[in-house]
Structure 1
Amino acid sequence: MKKIKKTVAVLAVGLGLFAYANPALAAVGDQGVDWSVYQGDQGRFGYAHDKFSISQIGGYNGSGIYWQSTYASQVQSSIAQGKRAHTYIWYQSVTNTTLAKNILDTMLAQVQTPKGSIVALDVEDGVANTDVILWSLQYIKDRGYTPLLYGYKSFLSNNLELGRISSKFGLWLGEYPDYNVTPVPNYNYFPSWDNIQIFQFTSAYVAGGLDGNVDLTGVTDSGYKSGNPSKPATETPAIAAGKEADKVKGSAKEVGMTVKVNFSSSIYATGEVIPDWVKGTSYQIIEKSGDKVLLDGIMSWLSVYNVETLDASTSGPTVNAGQTHVVQYGENLSIIAAKYGTTWQELSRINALSNPSIIYAGQTLSVTGGQSVATSGYCVVEYGDTLSGIAAQFGTTVERLVSANEISNPNMIYAGKVLNF
């Protein structure tokens, strides 16, 4: 969230009084994050165990209504990763119900999280009015969402009759002693008050900064049946977009299946950073080794748990002789090859490209060259492999491997190289 300078109150509260007050609720003790535009189109989680996100849709900054361009895609990303997505509205200097109704009608019409989910008002700056906040929270509740008031105890208690509000609606309060990386709540700095449902315990959840929150009451289950993001109370466009078929789980993924890289994946098995353009795009698994897979057009190993299956079929698309493709902005040969069940090497060969890395929007490429584009298979060279050993393993010859892969020196191949055979 947008932060302002704050005073930190040192108030010791026992963990047992809050964190597990209602163990019957599945989400009690779950941790999660909140996002604004600073976390980008897909947002970012701090840890694999995070269970929810709360994204800013936009709000009112004292002079006008504004939107966060990242809101819808952040909700999509969160749902795609199996997290419970929620919403908050920046609510600065909203001092009359006419203005409040205009803001809320505008925002609630575009909420992408399901009915029943949290819609919080972020009140941490400007002029605040107790009656207007109470009216606004009730207005959100009447429209089928779970209202919460977010802020810092010092600001809210100094500018509002906070007891009147907390007697009717839940609070989401932030308080922390410093800006050191804090992966778990420090309840010695808990901002003690009635009806606190979410505790934002740090703005440095991970190195580089990220808000970390803990659910104290199970409120982040709201809008999700049994806390399951795949079974929301209602469907929304963002949720529909975030749901991709995941027909094959874990290590059951096999060569030939079409997959997409999870938004939450950060590094390849080699330790290299996965670029953003890779995520959410469809690829075909061309090689599998244990719990690692190699994708056509990526050529770097990924964990099977970092990819989601889109289609359990192992058959590639049908390609007609003489078919062509017009290059679109942002495409490369690997992306185009994946669409047609071929390889970037084959596309480069049949189009006589002098530099496969350089293609331009509007360029027409042949995707068949009047012959089959399919190769017999792929092999990823491992440490200690030789061409003769690979040829024997896959029932081919050294000569064919040299020809198919344009190898200038058959005695020099390197680990990680992808060979067609």
Structure 2
Amino acid sequence: MKKLKKVAIAAVVGLGLFASASPAFAAVGDQGVDWAVYQGNQGQFGYGHDKFSISQIGGYNGQGIYWQSTYASQVQSSIAQGKRAHTYIWYQSVTNTDLAKSILDTMLAQVQTPKGSIVALDVEDGVANTDVILWSLQYIKDRGYTPLLYGYKHFLTNNLDLGRISSKFGLWMAQYPDYNVTPVPNYNYFPSWDNIQVFQFTSTYVAGGLDGNIDLSGVTDNGYKNGNPEKPNTETPAIEAGKEADHVKGNAKEVGMTVKVNFSSSAYATGETIPDWIKGTSYKIIEKSGDKVLLDGIMSWISIYDVETLDASTSAPVVSTGQTHVVQYGENLSGIAVKYGTTWQELARVNALSNPNIIYPGRTLSVSGSQLASKVGVCVVQYGDTLSSIAAQFGTTVERLVSANGISNPNYIYAGQVLNF
């Protein structure tokens, strides 16, 4: 989960208290992850036994509503891998019900996870109001979803009447002793409180950082029949879309394309296990035979459906002066600029955008220029990447990457950032 700040606060709880508070549902003990834009378009699971994801759709940052462009594809990817997908909303300084209603009406209309699934409010910064939070959680419940309140115990207890809230609604509580790699929860640091249904026990689930969570009550089954994501209680756009989440689909992947091995892939065509270090790393397809491919640096046949392409599959259109673009859900200024052969800085200038990071679905943008955008590649930054390593991978230069992406500090890029090349 993308947080404005991380804290590690220790509070000891007896294991007996934890065990007695957990009813016997199918998903009790299931582990999973939560994702924001920093985990990239399809996110990443920490371990093969992970069963659920919770993705940020966007939210309110104290100044305005914003969207996370990675939300829909993360949900699609999670469901396509047979995981249970859920949703959370950043909820900072929401202090009255009129504002709350506006935010929730906007967000809930775009939720891609099934009815009954979790829609959590992430309250960990700014001003918090107990009555508004209670109203908001009930509003989510009335619209057919499972509401949870997320936060750190220290912040929630200092800023809210948490007892009033937990008596009516479940909590998703975060607390961890340090930032060492932690693959399983340490209940010596469990944040003792009533009605904690999901425990976030680390922000370093794997090396490089990833939030790890454990389901204490079976709540991550909600929205899915018998825990089976192929048979949700109600249809969601992500179910079918998730099966084709790659930039280039299925057997259309060709020699020369840049790909990475899906985290859900398990075995080569020979039956040998694919090592974890191979997954998520970029490779070139050097040979193709039927529905199998050889990747440069691996040299063992792998199913074409087990690799995700990084190559863009379409070219941008020709733009005539004075053309406009209506912002669609999930778009950001950089992506729109690529489509029209311009830069996000130019779009911000022409449209007098005071905050280029916040654009709203339905807004009409003026698009300047009359140029043809050549076919543009897209790279999602992975943990450990640098501009020089990305430039080498994709046959470009650091200077071109800096220019194409408006990077002010070439030494600072982050995992999940989308770069054009």
Q: What's the TM-score once normalised by structure 1's chain length?
A: 0.63
The residue identity in structure 1 corresponding to 2:116 is G
Equivalent position of 2:75 in the other structure: 75
Which aligned pairs between 1:361-400 and structure 2 lie closer than 5 A? none
- For residues 196 and 122 of structure 2, the distance between their equivalents in structure 1, rounded to whole angstroms, comes to 15
The size of the alignment, in residue pairs, is 291
Distance verdict in 2 for CA 1:272–1:189, change over 3 Å: closer
Q: What code does the residue aligned with 2:300 have?
A: W
Q: Label 1:91 to 1:301 Cα distance change in 2 as closer, same or farther (>3 A).
A: same
CA distance in 2, matches of 1:261, 1:6: 31
Q: Distance in 2 between matches of 1:111 and 1:284?
A: 39
One-letter amino acid of the structure 2 residue matched with residue 24 of structure 1: A
1:255-274 matches, within 5 Å, as 262=262, 264-265=264-265, 269=274, 272=278
Cα deviation per residue 1:333-391 (whole Å; 9 max; x = unaligned)?
A: xxxxxxxxxxxxxxxxxxxxxxxxxxx96xxxxxxxxxxxxxxxxxxxxxxxxxxxxxx
Say whether the 8 Å CA contact 1:30–1:215 is kept in structure 2. yes
2:91/2:121 contact within 8 Å kept: yes
What's the offset of the Cα at 1:116? 0.1
Q: Kindly state the Cα deviation for residue 273 of structure 1 after the two structures are TM-superposed.
A: 5.5
Following superposition, the deviation at residue 274 of structure 1 comes to 5.7
Residue aligned with 1:43, SS? coil
Amino acid at match of 1:213: N
Change (3 A) 1:98 1:241: same
**How far apart are 1:2 and its partner, in Å?**
2.5
Structure 1 distance, partners of 2:35, 2:13, is 27
Separation in 2 of the partners of 1:263 and 1:6?
27
- Give the 3-state SS of the residue equivalent to 2:78 in structure 1: helix
Q: 1:328 to 1:197 in 2, by over 3 A?
A: closer
**Partners of 2:162 and 2:93 in 1: how far apart?**
16
Q: 1:53 to 1:272 in 2, by over 3 A?
A: closer
Is 1:25 the counterpart of 2:25? The answer is: yes
1:231 aligns with 2:231: yes
Q: 1:300/1:329 Cα in 2 relative to 1: closer, same or farther (>3 Å)?
A: farther
* Structure 2 counterpart of 1:295: 293
Task: Supply the distance in 1 between the matched residues of 2:141 and 2:283 (Cα, whole angstroms).
Answer: 39
Aligned partner of 1:168 in structure 2 is 168
Q: Distance in 2 between matches of 1:78 and 1:105?
A: 25
Equivalent residue for 2:12?
A: 12
Q: How does 1:53-202 map to 2 (within 5 A)?
A: 53-202=53-202
Distance, in Å, in 2 between the alignment partners of 1:231 and 1:243 is 14
- Using the aligned pairs only, state the percent identity: 76
Q: Distance in 1 between matches of 2:177 and 2:80?
A: 34
**Residues 201 and 212 in structure 2, CA contact (< 8 A), matched pair in contact too:** yes
What secondary structure sits across from 1:212 in the alignment? strand
1:11: Cα distance to partner?
Answer: 2.0
Q: Distance in 2 between matches of 1:121 and 1:56?
A: 10
State how far apart, in whole Å, the 2-side matches of 1:161 and 1:61 are.
22
- Give the direction of change, closer, same or farther, for the CA distance of 1:170–1:143 in structure 2 (3 Å limit): same
Identify if the C-alpha distance between structure 1 residues 77 and 135 changes in structure 2 by more than 3 Å, giving closer, same or farther.
same
CA spacing shift, 1:45–1:16, aligned 2, 3 Å = farther
Deviation at 1:232, TM superposition (A): 1.0
Unmatched 5+ stretches in structure 2 = 245-259, 269-273, 308-312, 317-373, 376-421
**Do the aligned partners of residues 31 and 16 (structure 1) sit closer, same or farther apart at CA in structure 2, a change above 3 Å counting?**
farther
Give 1:251's aligned residue: none
Distance 2:284 2:229 in 1: 24
- Alpha-carbon distance, 1:300 to partner: 3.4
Q: Which residue type is aligned with residue 201 of structure 1?
A: F
Aligned mates of 1:274, 1:205 — CA distance in 2 = 16
TM-superposed CA distance for 1:305, in Å, is 12
Whether the 8 Å contact between 1:89 and 1:120 is mirrored in structure 2 is yes
1:14–1:284 Cα change, 3 Å: farther
* 1:213-245 C-alpha deviation (Å, 9 max, x unpaired): 00000000000001111111111111221146x
2-structure distance, mates of 1:16, 1:83: 30
Could you tell which deviates more after superposition, 100-109 or 13-22?
A: 13-22
Q: Is the alpha carbon distance of 1:99 and 1:180 closer, same or farther for their aligned partners in structure 2, counting shifts above 3 Å?
A: same
1:43 aligns with 2:43: yes
2:293 corresponds to which letter in structure 1?
Answer: L
What is the SS of the residue equivalent to 2:87?
A: strand
Q: Which amino acid aligns with 2:299?
A: S
Are the counterparts in 2 of residues 7 and 154 from structure 1 also a CA contact under 8 Å?
no
Q: Calculate the TM-score normalised by the size of structure 2.
A: 0.63
Does the CA-based 8 Å contact 1:261-1:306 persist in structure 2?
A: no
Question: 1:20·1:29 contact (CA, 8 Å) conserved in 2?
Answer: no
Find the counterpart in structure 2 of residue 404 from structure 1: none
Partner of 1:209: 209
Q: Distance in 1 between matches of 2:169 and 2:67?
A: 25
Work out the CA distance in 1 between the residues paired with 2:85 and 2:283. Answer: 23
Q: Matches of 2:295 and 2:187 in 1, distance apart?
A: 48
Q: Which has the higher contact order (CA 8 A, sep 6+)?
A: 2
Once residues 54 and 37 of structure 2 are traced to their aligned partners in structure 1, the CA distance between those partners, rounded to angstroms, is 12
Q: Deviations over 1:4-31 (max 9, x none)?
A: 4455443222334325744631100000
Give yes or no for contact 1:44–1:264 (8 Å, CA) kept in 2: no
Work out whether residues 262 and 279 of structure 2, in 8 Å CA contact, stay in contact via their aligned partners in 1. Answer: no
Structure 1 residue 50: deviation in Å?
A: 0.4
The 8 Å contact of residues 61 and 92 in structure 1, kept in 2 or not, is answered as yes
For residues 20 and 305 of structure 2, what CA distance do their matches in structure 1 show?
Answer: 32
Q: 1:278 to 1:267 in 2, by over 3 A?
A: farther
1:207 Cα shift? 0.3
